[in-house]
A = this chain, B = another copy of it.
């Protein structure tokens, strides 16, 4: 949908970035992979709250976008590990910047939220 008939901001690079990461799990999955290869099941535990379906789906898209590499071992029981590609690793820094912002300003946002719900800008 990005850049089909956009006008100005419509096809700026921000749109591509948003299309890549603007869903519920992508950023968290990338964060989960940022320390090194992780198994499918371990990711589910690590992230907490994601279903296997959504994890697989997210990983598949990241794989298709060249950000994640899937490594399956022919063993029993099966073992599959996921890791960031070099390209994927470069995305960690922007995500980290975002996370740092949240760490620094998260409280301010929460304050604004319940300030608004009580006083409504009186």
Interface, chain A (partner B; CB < 8 A): 5-10, 12-18, 20-24, 27-28, 31-32, 45-49, 63-67, 87, 90-91, 93-95, 97-106, 108-109, 111-113, 115-117
Contacts and interface: CB of A to CB of B under 8 A. Distances in A.
The interface residues of chain A, by DSSP majority, are classed as helix
B65 A112 contact: yes
A46 B105 contact: no
26 contacts: A7-B46, A7-B47, A7-B48, A9-B31, A9-B48, A10-B47, A12-B31, A13-B100, A14-B27, A14-B31, A15-B28, A16-B102, A18-B27, A20-B102, A20-B109, A21-B22, A22-B27, A64-B112, A66-B109, A66-B111, A66-B115, A87-B108, A87-B112, A94-B101, A97-B97, A98-B98
